[in-house]
Amino acid sequence: MKILIANVCLGGRTGSEVHTKDLALALQRRGHRCAIFVRVLKEDLDVASLRAAGVIVTDNLRNLNGVPDVIHGHHLLQTVQACLAFPQTPAIQVCHDATNRRDRAGSSPWIQKWAAVDAFCQERYIRETGLKSEDIPIIFNAVDLDLFSERTQPPLSRPRNAALFFSSRDTPQIAQTISAVCSRLGIGLDIIGPGTSGFINDPANVLSQYDLVFGKARCAMEAMASGAHVILCSPRGVGPRITPENFDQLRQRNFGQSLLTLPLNEVELDKRINELDSTNTGILTKLIRSQNNTLALAILVEKIHQNLIKMNTDRQRLTLWQYYFLVRLKMDKYFKAKAVPQGEVT
């Protein structure tokens, strides 16, 4: 199949960017021909690796060769732009964020199928499309096992070093609390997330060196696959202890923000550190590597695409001005609803 993946940007370490890269490379390895269309393109090593593997990466749809069989879109505007360029190609839209407006669900006949990266995002699309959960499959985030190797032995139950691996401008809000706990317990701490002074551009080469990683979602999965203890946390809060018994439940929610319901403070972090167990972590590493790998992701998406291309699709009567009119109308209603009286502070 010829597959066009649409994302808002490429050339960074946000969740949708890494997912886009991993999916394209995994599908390419299975013999498909992939192209990626983005609005903002930043040339980096990931983009170079995609091009080296034969994936077309562009911010201009005119640069594509031929008509794709499937449009695999993430963010609404880029997905609809691809649909306008290829009006007879069926499209699936995958939600990566349960709250961001650019991830809102497009409507039919723009989109023929909807999916989500976890149950939290799935719940959003159930509300926005009116479909049932069984009609909105979960296309999970995955770890490229060719990049993220597993350490030979699980870390000791009492960690010696740790990393705060969190992609957010809000990292300083949690770094102070985590640093204080680690310092008191004699655990060395590095802050390696994007947007920080210690940012590591190739986490696959360093995560296995840490006994403990603080993070969530993709960052947590990459650390788990590397063999580290993982404590789920973000500025939103602290998540539950990950065990083999609750692994499937937490996996369905992407080890992400909807799980972070406990206050982020030294008491909760102390509790999570005291719960760390080498045997438990070793089992979790095996589970994440067997279930959330890029090969499994490619096989799942491949099956969805094979069913999608059987649909008859024709958007010839839809025009670009109609789309922008509808978007502007929705945005006007949104900002009017959010309007604040003069002198009132939000």
- Domain segments of the chain: what residues? 2-142+294-316, 161-291
Is the model's pLDDT at 339 over the cut of 60?
Answer: no
pLDDT digits 0-9 by tens, 59-75: 999 999 899 999 999 99
In the CATH hierarchy, which fold is given to the domain comprising 161-291? Rossmann fold (3.40.50)
pTM: 0.87
Question: In this structure, are residues 214 and 231 in contact, taking their beta carbons and an 8 Å threshold?
Answer: yes
Mean pLDDT of the residues in the chain: 89
Question: For 27-40, what is each residue's pLDDT tens digit?
Answer: 999 999 999 999 99
2-142+294-316: CATH number: 3.40.50.2000
206-256: per-residue pLDDT in tens? Answer: 999 999 999 999 999 999 999 999 999 998 899 999 999 999 999 999 999
Using alpha carbons, select from 148, 147, 141 the residue that is nearest to residue 292: 141
14: CB partners within 8 A, 6+ apart? 167, 194
pLDDT of residue 340: 36
- Evaluate whether 2-142+294-316 and 161-291 have a shared fold: yes
Q: What is Dmax (Cα atoms) for the chain?
A: 66
The pLDDT tens digits of the residues spanning 308-317 come to 999 888 776 6
Residue 327 has pLDDT above 70, yes or no: no
